[in-house]
Amino acid sequence: MPDRQRRSRVARLKAAVLVSGRGSNLQALLDAGRTPDFPVEIALVVSNLPDVPALERAKAAGVATKVIDHRGFADRAAFDQALDTTLRAADVEVVCLAGFMRLLTAGFVEAWRNRLINIHPSLLPSFKGLHTHRRALAAGVTLHGCTVHFVTPDLDDGPIIAQAAVPVLGDDDEDRLAARVLTAEHRLYPLALRLFAEGRLTLAGRRVLVSGDVDAGGALFNPALK
């Protein structure tokens, strides 16, 4: 049996990506999803805002899109209920946040526990929250980076799947540093999602243990430095 046929018989995990803006991490996931051996199908892109570039990226990739405008809902719980309904209707198995700028309710997070993944632009636990690049520069760190983690009700505090480091250079401003971290994000997010889809992640307390090739794992954690 040719390789292509063998692969095509393996069901890929159905993922939704939640976006609010330009969708550069969405693009990295879409690009990964187009490679034949990537174990995840990006099946749906949901935006809480209409007319954002991320939606165009999804359409260009032939991926279904849905706008759930948060301004049309009375409260967060009602928005999250609509989101949950949409995801379940699409048989989504894993949800990736990619620049999604809405706080999710604890109820939604619990309902998707261990199937809800986010990427945060810092080496957590440093610099939780917003404006991470500005704060990293102000703190004077020489290593900065990004973190893919499971989402829990506490902000930027869930179990860490993978991290990547990049150097901070002397002539960096916020934009230059953000661009360098973003390059690492675009490599890290697909790799972390692949580990999840391949069933290689095990939770042990707050630690996420990765089974399989440790060397590949080690390189993975620093894609910007390979």
Residues acting as catalytic residues: 120
12 alpha-carbon distance from chain centroid: 17
- Contact positions vs a copy of itself (CB under 8 A): 123-127, 137-143, 145, 159-165, 167, 169-170, 205-211, 214, 217-218, 221-222, 225
Cβ closest to a copy of itself, residue 151 vs residue 162: 162
Least Å distance between CB 136 and a copy of itself? 9
C-alpha span between 46 and 64 (Å, rounded): 9
Minimum gap (Å) between residue 160 Cβ and a copy of itself: 5
**Torsions phi, psi of 167, nearest 5?**
-75, 150
Nearest residue (CB) to a copy of itself, 77 versus 130: 130
Distance, CA of 165 to CA of 163 (rounded, Å): 7
Contacting residues for 187 by C-beta, under 8 A, at least 6 apart: 28, 164, 223, 224
Least distance CB 144 / a copy of itself (angstroms): 9
- Calpha distance 52→66 (Å, rounded): 12
Phi and psi dihedrals of 38, rounded to 5? -75, 125
Q: How far apart are CA 161 and CA 202, in angstroms?
A: 10
Q: Which is nearer to a copy of itself, 2 or 170 (CB)?
A: 170
Q: How far is the CB of 26 from a copy of itself (least distance, A)?
A: 23
Compute the least distance from the CB of residue 129 to a copy of itself, in Å: 13
Which residue, among 87, 163, 157, has the nearest Cα to 129 in the 3D structure? 157
Helix axis angle, 174-197 to 132-139, nearest 10°: 120
Pick the closer one to a copy of itself by CB: 78 or 219: 219
The smaller minimum CB distance to a copy of itself, of residues 85 and 142, is found at 142
